Amino acid sequence: MEAIVKTNLQLPGQTAHYVGKVRDVYSIEGDYLVMVVSDRISAFDVVLPKGIPFKGQVLNQIAAKFLDATADILPNWKIATPDPMVTIGHKCEPFKVEMVIRGYLSGHAWREYKAGKRTICGVEMPEGMVENQKFPTPIITPTTKAAEGHDEDISKEEIIAQGIVSREDYEQLEKYTRAIFQRGTEIAAKMGLILVDTKYEFGKKNGVIYLMDEIHTPDSSRYFYAEGYEERLAKGEKQKQLSKEFVREWLMANGFQGQEGQQVPEMTPEIVSSITERYIELYEQIVGEKFVKAECNDVEARIKQNVSDFLATL
């Protein structure tokens, strides 16, 4: 199957069309969003030149399952998934921050720690930690939501002082973030996984806070395999993980970190195929079900038909 890297659907009632790094988002009469999760892949805030077949289906279906599994904690934007690559939901006014929560010292937090910093986003990190060690309590390290380029670390105090989010709303977002992360941690544990860190996006509709976008997917989250975690930690070895980190590591090994003047290494058919296989593995490990490829000769026509049929019922 060819990767779906671009859509141009022209849907009934369509009022706007926004293209993000990975998602094509269609506004329907100001009330609903149709989110097509494409097969584009980004790393270091750069969209890579080749798409990854079935990646969009993997992300969309994982996110749908976790939105359903956390719907008792707070409302979320999802109404339906009429196609394997599409979610239709409520259009909300997004908060201009991403709520990043970290249970372990990994990724960006570890890079900061290794550079000698002991505070991230105004949150203090204990002395004497090693990479991938569990924090005593998960820490929330928000970022500003950049329209373009890199998201920036920001503290709770700065968010409130700058009026980006009111104190009342921000404290509610923190409570929701901790509760969803706890639920995700419990679900991951049943699958033999550790939910290491993740990010959530929230918005408001009619004065009510909604959980938006994807949650607990390998693009927005990092998972470790629980088996062997303690042994690898004790030996200072890399953890066996389920996340997009393997793509970043491949890029870094080939001299690319999204900096100006750097070239994305060649994405050979073998590399693309291996990334597809990893995403399918991620799906099966995280969800605990066999992944069923939605085979189709004309995926865009299928998407348009499935979405149009559902919109007619709204």
Position 252 pLDDT exceeds 70 = yes
Mean pLDDT, residues 88-110 taken together? 96
Task: Give the whole-number percent of the chain exceeding pLDDT 90.
Answer: 87
What CA–CA distance (Å, rounded) separates 225 from 246? 14
Q: For position 148, what pLDDT does the model report?
A: 60
The pLDDT score that the predictor gives to residue 243 is: 77
Tell me the pLDDT tens digit for each residue of 192-232: 999 999 999 999 999 999 999 999 998 899 999 999 999 99
pLDDT in tens, 65-88: 999 999 999 999 999 999 999 999
**Helix-strand-coil percent breakdown of the chain, rounded to 5?**
30, 25, 40
**What separation in angstroms does the CA of 50 have from each of 7, 186, 190, 220, 251?**
15, 35, 34, 20, 13
Over residues 169-183, the pLDDT tens digits come to 999 999 999 999 999
Which tokens sit at 87? 């979610």
Please give the CATH number for the structural domain made up of 94-242.
3.30.470.20
| pTM of this prediction exceeds 0.75 | yes
pLDDT at 1 exceeding the cut of 80: no
- Report the pLDDT value the prediction gives residue 219, as an integer from 0 to 100: 83
Indicate the helix (H) or strand (E) that contains 309. helix 299-311
pLDDT at 169: 98
Least confident of 136-150, 232-246, 298-312: 136-150
pLDDT for the residue numbered 268: 94
- pLDDT for residue 30: 83
Please state which of the ranges 184-188, 211-215, 222-226, 241-245 shows the lowest mean pLDDT. 241-245
Is a pLDDT exceeding 70 seen at residue 184?
Answer: yes
pLDDT value of position 150: 65
245 pLDDT exceeds 90?
Answer: no
Question: pLDDT-based confidence at 241, cuts 50/70/90?
Answer: confident
Which of residues 44 and 208 earns the better pLDDT score?
208
pLDDT band at 163 (very low <50, low <70, confident <90, very high): very high
Q: In the chain, where do the E strands start and end?
A: 14-19, 23-28, 32-37, 42-43, 46-47, 78-83, 86-90, 93-94, 97-104, 119-120, 123-124, 134-140, 143-144, 193-205, 208-212, 221-225, 241-242
Is 170 in a helix, a strand, or coil? helix
Q: How confident is the model at residue 289 (pLDDT cuts 50, 70, 90)?
A: very high
| Cα gap 69→64, rounded to integer Å | 9
Nearest to 179 by CA among 16, 70, 80: 70
Q: What is the pLDDT of residues 151-160, one digit of tens each?
A: 789 999 999 9
Task: Give pLDDT, residue 45.
Answer: 84
DSSP β-ladder status, 97-104 and 134-140: antiparallel
